[in-house]
Each structure stands twice: as C-alpha cells, then as structure tokens.
Amino acid sequence: MKNNTTGTGQGETGVSSPVRRFERKQLAVGTIALGVVGLIALGAAVVAGATADFDKGLLLALRDNGDLANPLGPRWLEETVRDVSALGSTFVLTFAVVVVAGFLWIVDAPAKAAFLVVAVSLGSLLNRLLKLIIARPRPDIVEHATYVSSESFPSGHTANSAIVYLVLGMMLARVEASFAAKVFVFGVCTLLTVMIGLSRIYLGVHWPTDVLAGWILGGSWAVLCWYVLVSLQPVGTHR
C-alpha cells in the first residue's frame, strides 16, 4: 500500500492538516484527563461503599426473584451471553493480538506490530495493578454463572476487551480514508466492548461499577494509544 504524503486521506489541505491534528490531540488529552479523574473518583466511591446500593440493586434486578441463581430470561439467552463474555477472555484477546501482530510482521510493518503488543500489554498490566490496589471481592449476593478467580475492580474482561478491540479499530481506521468506514469500524469495536461488559454483570461475576471502571480505563487507554501513534507519525501521513 502506498503512503499518502500530501494529506491525511480526508481531503485536508497541507495547511489545515496540522491544525486539525493539533485540535484532535488536544481533545485526546482532555479525554484522557477526564478518564483519569473519573476512574479515581469511581475507585474512591467504591472503596467508601458509596456505590453499594446501586451495585446490589442492579445485580438483583437481573435475577429471578424466586431463584437468585438464575439470571432473567430463557436458558438460550444465558448461553448466548456466556458466548459474548468469552470474546473478552484472555485466550481470545491474546489470540487476536498475536494474529494481527503476526500479520503486521509478515507485511513488513514490525514497528506497528511492536506498538500493538506493547500497548495491549501495558494496558492489561495497568488493569491488573488497579485490581490489586482496590482488592474488591467479587459479588457474593448472586451465584456466578461462569468461573472467575481474580479481584473484581476494574473488570478485566471489560477493560482488556476495550483496549484490544479499540486499539485494533484505531489502527485499522488510521489506514482507511473513508469516514463512513471509520465510523463502522469504531461502531463495531465499541458495540463489542459494551456487550462484553454488560455480559459480566448479567452473569453475576462483576458489580456494575466494576464494568463502568473497565470501560473508562480501556477507553482512556485506547485514546492514549491513539495520541502516541499520531505523535510518532510524520504530519501528512495516515498509514
């Protein structure tokens, strides 16, 4: 594929391109800062117990009043939600990263392959550190519909799926000139991330605020990765 050296692929002129790039980077910095503040505030509220009523109320609302071991809905729905949840599992996410990184290496883009692996690995490590710091127990008011073993806050499935799918979507969108294609890519990645997070609440393995924290962490990290990627690329290129 040939690099675009005269514009960003969106019809921008040589003058407007740097300006728009600066504006987008400013927006990214603001988004990251907002995410950090939001995550800290949410973590503090969780530790203080301020979210307990909300978390318990929503979890119980998704269970059969006569049998809290059963989520609402038919059996096929529970199985489908479990399948959706698996899309955020360590195996699936690792496999996706390895496949894409391998492809990038084969097509002679080792720097992009390394960027992907480092970005995902550091994001996952950050999520793990927050789990250890907060050390929040898993929900114990309903039966877990799937096996879990680590701490609860933030949701690893949610955060890691947001990091992987949004970063992959970002890298794909960077080489696509069509705005409609960019919207489609990010729409699919965002929908997938939302579905995985909601599945963890439905299965009773995470408090709702765990999932919210995962979305904030994963989304903010993906924006940070976008910022770094754009900063490393010369002005006027998008490949």
Residues catalogued as catalytic: 157, 206
Identify the bridge partners of residue 71 per DSSP, sorted by sequence position: 63
Reduced to 3 states (helix: H, G, I; strand: E, B; else coil), residue 51 is coil
Reduced to 3 states (helix: H, G, I; strand: E, B; else coil), residue 143 is coil
Secondary-structure breakdown of the chain: helix, strand, coil percentages, each rounded to the nearest 5: 70, 5, 30
Give dist(CA 177, CA 4) in Å, integer.
Answer: 10
The answer to whether the beta carbons of residues 209 and 55 sit under 8 Å apart is: yes
Cis peptide before 110 (omega within 30 of 0): no
The answer to whether the Cα torsion of 176, 179, 185, 190 is positive or negative is: positive
Residue showing tokens 């995902």: 120
Burial environment of residue 5 by CB neighbours within 10 A (0 to 12, 13 to 18, 19 or more): exposed
Give dist(CA 29, CA 52) in Å, integer.
Answer: 31
* Closest to 79 in 3D by CA, of 202, 182, 171: 202
Give dist(CA 89, CA 112) in Å, integer.
Answer: 23
The answer to whether the beta carbons of residues 161 and 193 sit under 8 Å apart is: yes
